[in-house]
Structure 1
């Protein structure tokens, strides 16, 4: 590490998946790179690095963000939820099960971002229409499955969550 890089580092503290974490980062490191390389949480993927594909989606303080567009230092003090959570919330758990059962994934590269985005939707709207699901997931790219199975999986997760509340 050269002198400039050493001076460019800062320690941040975050709560990731319910656990307090502190680690050093550079002022230019993206949140997704910090999670992957600084904390070893590799569930969020780095795709386009331009905020277009959604593979890096994580939840920061209850809102989905593109981890490649947010700097790690901007997350200092934040609550972050990633797909790596050992005890995922009910929406994430239902979505993971539905994606598997509906064959809504193939290579799995886009899946973490899709699930994080869809979980935010299901927290706000327990019974979204197919059009609402399409709109919310329109910024997430999948190059393997097509989107019908993904939309089916989100609807199935929605129905499963509603059934557990009865």
Structure 2
């Protein structure tokens, strides 16, 4: 369940410059990593071979695909904000994204979100959201960046 409900351009615009919440922690399991490898056809051993990774990886274990962590954005965003009174929501883009640290298997990650900018583009709301994926127990985040949503409010 989302921590905040937004129903209009004006409500979203009023949050500009503010951190608006943190998602729950999500555990990245080996099963999830393997399913992502199947879906993307990226079977690099550093992700999918726990035995080899324990012996040969500089991380000492398997790690999540960077794009797996990015793919969790929508799921974790919806824990922070529920946008209501819309006809359509579109994932419009990523303005910037930097991977800072690998996410080891069985790590817990969560999303921290901040409203960076909100614009009215002829009736379509363009929302730039600053995102940081924190790793429980780590000072460095998995990634940080800025994602962009388009909302078509009623």
**Alignment TM-score > 0.5, same fold:** no
More contact order relative to length (CA 8 Å, sep ≥ 6): 2
**TM-score class, shorter:** under 0.3
The structure that is helix-richer by fraction is 1
